[in-house]
């Protein structure tokens, strides 16, 4: 075989850009409902306590259903739309949480004709709505978190130039607090414990990226940490562990919607080492970060050029080129992800029209057995030959990242095996079926 550098990982990502219109890891779209181009937000939650995640949506400019849900009936089948809130107002965003501790998930929304924060209380799937607060804004966002560690879910809301916290007494009685900070236009919000002190912190996106530190249950603007983050109008921010080092990093749009990027957390809530992932991704308004290839690191899917693209992670925050998942005939404006059929794989939900795509990944973590260390794949120093050491006799199949078999049923003997097959520089799955009924899958990158 030609001389190429060979890397073998138990955890690695796909590093190719495919020209196909549909990345075969995800099945063809299943239509949930047509004529849903007005959807501005999609979230998932088990609102009827049947251990299946349901789909909840908002429609910002709809006269019939501003907030509605589709119950998951299993096997990727969903009920027809059920409306919770109707009217001619403009709901921007929603979040869920059990605010009154009755074991039913409630919904909180922000944005309507009166710029309101509204509770939609769930009593055994009977929803009742009540306005919690109103303040002036155009764009807004909302999230749910236990800020003061009292085991009651609080609410954080942003809109216009206002950041508010609503502290919950455990019975859905809320006390509001306005958090002061620089005057800015808020657009997006993300919440996590950035410095491992046990309290959840808040980062907002908009005209600036701002850090609000949680000091024993009280939020305050953190100028030092905020000034570490280059920002000029970032509309998409997420706190999530990108490099698998146990702390949350900052994933966001780049300045002025000129790409996507991430910044490393030093473990103390300071963000440095800005890395541009894709400078060609512009106007990112919706994305989802999950482990889509089931290799124990976080990948992401964004809407780029109104189509869906997957970027896979090598576990250290190095991402693949964008992989086209779906080029819809309609304009995709919102995307979310969830394991909708409880098979351990993250499926996609997007609009318009409201559709789902099943994750058909063939090589799940179930095959990444502890015994994978029994098989070694390597290239000897100063040699272009590829070898495989096996503890037992068996059969090897070599697949590409689309799941297509490149070489089938290659006999493997106990001990060292010389693999004299031609493999171009790509990523491959080496699936070894041993005679002891053990399956071991390794990912091999040939550069």
pLDDT digits (tens, 9 = 90+) for 405-443: 889 999 999 989 998 888 887 778 888 888 887 878 777
Confidence grade of residue 18 (pLDDT, cut at 50, 70, 90): very low
Residue pair 346/336 in contact by the 8 Å Cβ criterion: no
The pLDDT tens digits for 337-388 are 999 998 888 999 999 889 999 998 764 333 333 335 678 887 765 556 788 9
Q: How far apart are CA 199 and CA 179, in angstroms?
A: 16
Question: Omega into 352 within 30° of 0, i.e. cis?
Answer: yes
Q: Which of 27-36, 152-161, 268-277 has the lowest mean pLDDT?
A: 27-36
Average pLDDT of span 244-269: 92
The pLDDT tens digits for 147-170 are 999 999 999 999 999 999 999 999
Q: How far apart are CA 164 and CA 188, in angstroms?
A: 13
Predicted structure pTM score: 0.78
- Greater confidence (233 vs 157) lies with 157
Q: Is the Cα torsion angle 138, 139, 145, 149 positive or negative in sign?
A: negative
Confidence grade of residue 19 (pLDDT, cut at 50, 70, 90): very low
Length of the chain measured in residues: 447
Query: What does the mean pLDDT of the chain come to?
Result: 86
Query: Who's near 192: CB < 8 A, 6+ residues apart?
Result: 200, 201, 239, 240, 248
The pLDDT tens digits for 307-334 are 899 999 988 999 999 988 888 777 888 9
Average pLDDT of span 171-200: 94
């Amino acid at each position: 075989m030609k001389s190429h550098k060979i890397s073998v990982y138990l955890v690695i990502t796909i590093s190719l850009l495919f020209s196909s219109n549909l990345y075969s890891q995800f099945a063809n779209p299943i239509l949930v409902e047509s004529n849903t181009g007005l959807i501005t937000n999609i979230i998932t939650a088990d609102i009827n306590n049947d251990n299946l995640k349901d789909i909840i949506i908002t429609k910002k400019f709809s006269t019939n259903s501003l907030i509605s849900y589709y119950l998951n009936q299993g096997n990727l089948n969903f009920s027809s739309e059920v409306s919770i809130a109707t009217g001619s107002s403009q709901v921007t965003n929603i979040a869920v949480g059990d605010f009154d501790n009755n074991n039913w998930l409630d919904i909180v929304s922000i944005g309507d004709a009166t710029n309101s924060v509204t509770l939609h209380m769930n009593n055994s799937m009977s929803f009742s709505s009540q306005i919690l607060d109103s303040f002036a804004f155009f764009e807004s966002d909302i999230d749910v978190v236990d800020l003061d560690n009292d085991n009651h879910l609080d609410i954080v809301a942003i809109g216009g130039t206002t950041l508010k916290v609503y502290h919950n007494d455990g019975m859905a009685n809320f006390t509001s607090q306005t958090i002061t900070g620089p005057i800015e236009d808020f657009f997006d919000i993300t919440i996590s414990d950035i410095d491992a002190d046990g309290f959840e912190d808040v980062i907002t996106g908009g005209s600036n990226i701002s850090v609000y530190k949680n000091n024993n249950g009280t939020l305050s603007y953190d100028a030092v940490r905020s000034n570490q983050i280059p920002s000029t109008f970032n509309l998409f921010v997420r706190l999530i562990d990108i490099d698998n080092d146990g702390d949350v990093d900052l994933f966001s749009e780049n300045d002025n919607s000129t790409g996507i990027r991430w910044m490393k957390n030093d473990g103390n809530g300071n963000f440095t080492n800005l890395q541009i992932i894709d400078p060609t991704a512009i106007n990112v308004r919706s994305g989802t970060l999950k482990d889509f290839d089931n290799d124990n690191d976080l990948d992401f899917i964004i809407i780029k050029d109104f189509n869906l693209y997957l970027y896979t992670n090598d576990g250290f925050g190095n991402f693949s080129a964008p992989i086209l998942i779906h080029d819809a005939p309609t304009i995709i404006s919102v995307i979310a992800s969830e394991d909708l059929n409880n098979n351990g794989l993250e499926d996609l939900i997007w609009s318009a029209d409201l559709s789902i795509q099943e994750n058909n990944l063939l090589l799940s973590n179930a095959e990444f057995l502890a015994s994978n260390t029994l098989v070694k794949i390597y290239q000897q120093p100063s040699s272009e030959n590829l070898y495989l050491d096996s503890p037992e006799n068996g059969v090897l199949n070599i697949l590409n990242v689309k799941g297509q078999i490149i070489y089938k049923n290659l006999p493997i003997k106990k001990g060292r095996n010389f693999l004299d097959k031609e493999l171009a520089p790509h990523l491959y799955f080496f699936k070894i079926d041993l005679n002891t009924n053990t399956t071991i899958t390794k990912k091999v990158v040939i550069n």
